[in-house]
A and B are shown apart, each in its own frame.
Chain A
Amino acid sequence: MTDEKSFVEIRHAQKAFGKLEVLKDISLSVDKGQIVGIIGSSGSGKSTLLRAINDLDPLTGGEVWLDGVEVNQKLPHRQYEKHINQMRQQVGMVFQHFNLFPHMTARENVTMAPMLLKGLSKDEANTLAEEQLDNVGMLERIDYYPSQLSGGQKQRVAIARALAMKPKLMLFDEATSALDPELVEEVNQVMRKLAEQHMTMIIVTHEMDFAASVCDRVLFMDQGVVVEEGPPSMLFKNPTQPRTREFLRKHLENAK
């Protein structure tokens, strides 16, 4: 094996919760600017894989590399904390349940980390917040608290919060699954816009149409392994693996 590494490189990722093996030797590389979708049934390990990338769920085996740096390298506790905080600043993450900070306005949600971690002044941070919130169409609600926003609006603020750290990579874990159907599109639009700006993204989703339209590549996971991967045109139209076909067939039935 050569040591040429992609922008994001996962090598032989393994994860077990006690006896339960959730990730079984998964390898994945993502190039800069690429958009990778991950689909699969509930419990197949999609979130666990995504969360391993910024070490939110530490792997029990294997390596994660981002832009030439090993994310989950072995270091003494203190050094590791410093290192991982540094790495996480470069990776934006968007959660199914938004996880906005309820005691802060949209503006404060966005400015908090850049001020604390990058030493931005209040003015600089405010300009940044206005820019980022404008980007997701939330400028008008800049001084609202999360409780005063709809689900779609919350998620857009959460995306702005992540983008304000100027990440190299964005991770989305079912960003629209908790939304009412009519609010899904406003969030999808923001993600499409990011795609146009060539943001590197890994997107866990249950929305096949969306995955088909934005992803360069889609992975189908089942029981902790990547069963099949390829461009959406192939994976969705001509899956080669029986398990993929079964999953897509069931998914179609449920959608009806």
Chain B
Amino acid sequence: MDIELMLKVYPFFLEAAWLTIVLSVLTAVLGLICGTLGAFARLSRFAILRFIAAAYVSVFRGTPALIQLFILYFGGPQIGIQLDAFEAGVIGLGINAGAYMAETIRGGIISIDKGQREAARTLGLSHWQAMYKIILPQAARLMVRPLGVNLNMLIKATALVAAISVVELTYTAQRYIGSTYKPFEMFLLAGVLYMIIIYVTGRGVVWLDRKVQIT
């Protein structure tokens, strides 16, 4: 194993790891927005919203994220959507993550005992007041861990955007393999950095989960 080479190139990998982190954060934010909208639409009293949200979830969970990225990035211009690779990466992965998060968020909401909603409505709270004061604060606590799983998958999925040439960790590893012919070292380096990002995120999730538990 060429340790010397690894030490020489790792600053470039750190830079790429930073892009992976930025990509993950933006994707997570977009995913949460799409997921929240999707979850509420699935629980809506309007059939049309329920239908749209169910279609969103099954289409984006039912096809490979890579195909979704390719359609957006390579197919987009054909239907008038011009995005650079980074934008396409964030939007494509974000919408994809949103489909998974929608299910997580919906699951959290419907797992709250219906007596909670009834007690709130009985006091005179409106549907949205009950949601925001009673259901969501409880559901959010239950969602921390499963959303953490979504986050874990989303971080790993950012590797896919290497296929549309975003210069994140995986793409960087591939590029250095092209010049060094050392795939073992290069992928190992990328893998270790992914592992660190995911480990730290995972600890964060555990910490948050403990912090929000009801005494």
Q: Which residues of A contact B (CB under 8 A)?
A: 54, 56, 81, 85-86, 88-89, 91-93, 95, 97, 99-103, 112-113, 116-117, 145, 147-148, 158, 161-162, 165
Give me 22 A-to-B residue pairs in the complex whose CB atoms sit less than 8 angstroms apart, sorted by A's number. Answer: A56-B122, A81-B127, A89-B124, A95-B118, A99-B116, A100-B119, A101-B116, A101-B119, A101-B134, A101-B138, A102-B138, A112-B123, A112-B133, A113-B124, A113-B125, A116-B129, A117-B123, A117-B124, A145-B214, A145-B215, A147-B215, A165-B123
A103 touches B137 (CB 8 A): yes
Chain B interface residue count, Cβ-Cβ cutoff 8 angstroms = 21
Nearest A residue to B113, CB-CB: A99
B126 touches A81 (CB 8 A): yes
With A and B bound together, what is the CA distance between A112 and B141 in angstroms?
19
With A and B bound together, what is the CA distance between A23 and B116 in angstroms?
25
Q: Which residues of B contact A93 (CB under 8 A)?
A: 119, 122
Known: A102-B214, A103-B137, A103-B141. A116 touches B115 (CB 8 A): no
A56 touches B118 (CB 8 A): yes
Q: Which residues of B contact A (CB under 8 A)?
A: 113, 115-116, 118-127, 129, 133-134, 137-138, 141, 214-215
Nearest A residue to B132, CB-CB: A116
A95 touches B115 (CB 8 A): yes
Q: Which residues of A contact B133 (CB under 8 A)?
A: 112, 116
Q: Which residues of A contact B120 (CB under 8 A)?
A: 101
Nearest A residue to B123, CB-CB: A113
With A and B bound together, what is the CA distance between A145 and B214 in angstroms?
8
How far, in Å, is A165 (CB) from chain B's closest CB? 6
Q: Which of A56, A85, A92, A145 contacts B126 (CB 8 A)?
A: A85
